């Protein structure tokens, strides 16, 4: 057998034997891919543009889970139910594991660069357990990923220093960890996951008129039309944020830049 033919068969065999690792939502996908460094087959349950509130899965996604070695999840109620039915060969990892100071009912840790750094370290640890031979490579890749997140974190902080207001009006309470990290205040009008009542909206408007938010953040898939109406009433600009964007750091930097563009207090 020629060297070229042997190499081709060996490469094919390595691909076929690669352990599959899946993640629930797209924001973790580029970090997981970089950490793995090609040592694993990587897949995602939620497609780009879809929200992360899963209530069911099509057959192809169920097969994806059953064939995986590790599934990195966000800790949703749906994931917890499904994890009880997994084959013994699948390890489910809740990416909230071992993290301190969690907000009750808030799964959006990936929207905080500081929290995201904690989570990618958890991902790296699990990949090292799965593939001990690749431990050194995964460790090197982790250092690069952490540097990327830290750079983005610094850009966001720098932009926010230029903003006169530290108050946001949001169509969903997804930015709790982001606001906590960067000392911002978020007024959410989705009434904790439920459709807001007229009384709730009136209260939000009163708070907004008192606190003077500088931006209405439209969280994709959550009361965007209502957000536009409130922005018009309060004469505020809007910013559309997709919390499941694959380039989540770019999206968060864009949000910070939108805040920074409001340089003068209108009151």
Domain range 19-156, its CATH number among 1.10.10.10, 3.40.50.300, 3.40.50.1980, 3.30.465.10:
3.40.50.1980
Q: What pLDDT is recorded for position 50?
A: 58
**Mean pLDDT by 10-residue block, N- to C-terminus, for the chain (267 residues)?**
34 50 96 96 82 74 92 93 91 93 90 98 97 96 99 97 89 94 91 76 89 94 91 94 96 96 48
Predicted TM-score (pTM) of this structure: 0.87
Q: What pLDDT is recorded for position 200?
A: 83
CATH number of the structural domain 164-260: 3.40.50.1980
Mapped to the 3 state alphabet, what secondary structure does the chain carry? CCHHHHHHHHHHHHHHHCEEEEECCHHHHHHHHHHHCCCEEEEECCCCCCCCCCCCCCHHHHHHHHHCCEEEECCCHHHHHHHCCCCCCCEEEECCCCCCCCCCCCCCHHHCHHHHHHHHHHHHHHHHHHCHHHHHHHHHHHHHHHHHHHHHHHHHHHHHCCCCCCEEEECCHHHHHHHHHHCCEEEECCCCCCCCCHHHHHHHHHHHHHHCCCEEEEECCCCHHHHHHHHHHHCCCEEEECCCCCCHHHHHHHHHHHHHCCCCCCC
Q: What pLDDT is recorded for position 8?
A: 37
Q: What pLDDT is recorded for position 21?
A: 97
Q: What pLDDT is recorded for position 53?
A: 65
The domain spans of the chain are 19-156, 164-260
Identical fold for domains 19-156 and 164-260, yes or no, is yes
Q: What pLDDT is recorded for position 52?
A: 61
């Amino acid at each position: 057998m020629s060297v070229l033919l042997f190499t081709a068969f060996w490469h094919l065999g390595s691909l076929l034997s690669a352990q599959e690792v899946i993640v629930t939502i797209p924001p973790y996908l580029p970090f997981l891919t970089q950490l793995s460094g090609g040592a694993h087959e990587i897949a995602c349950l939620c497609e780009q543009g879809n929200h992360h509130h899963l209530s069911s899965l099509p057959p192809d996604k169920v097969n994806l889970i059953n064939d995986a070695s590790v599934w990195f999840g966000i800790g949703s109620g749906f994931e917890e139910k499904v994890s009880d039915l997994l084959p013994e060969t699948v390890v489910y990892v809740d990416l909230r594991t071992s993290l301190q100071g969690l907000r009750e009912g808030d799964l959006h840790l990936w929207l905080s660069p500081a929290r995201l750094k904690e989570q990618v370290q958890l991902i790296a640890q699990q990949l090292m357990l799965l593939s001990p031979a690749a431990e050194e490579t995964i460790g090197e890749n982790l250092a690069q990923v952490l540097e990327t997140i830290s750079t983005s974190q610094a850009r966001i902080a720098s932009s926010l220093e230029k903003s006169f207001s530290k108050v946001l009006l949001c169509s969903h309470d997804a930015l709790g960890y982001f606001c906590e990290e960067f000392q911002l205040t978020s007024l959410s009008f989705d009434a904790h996951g439920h459709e807001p009542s007229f009384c709730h909206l009136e209260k939000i408007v009163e708070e907004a008129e008192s606190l003077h938010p500088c931006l209405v953040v439209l969280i994709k898939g959550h009361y965007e039309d209502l957000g536009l109406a409130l922005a018009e009433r309060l004469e505020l600009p809007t910013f559309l944020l997709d919390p499941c964007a694959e380039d989540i750091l770019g999206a968060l930097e864009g949000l910070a830049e939108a805040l920074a563009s409001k340089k003068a207090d209108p009151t």
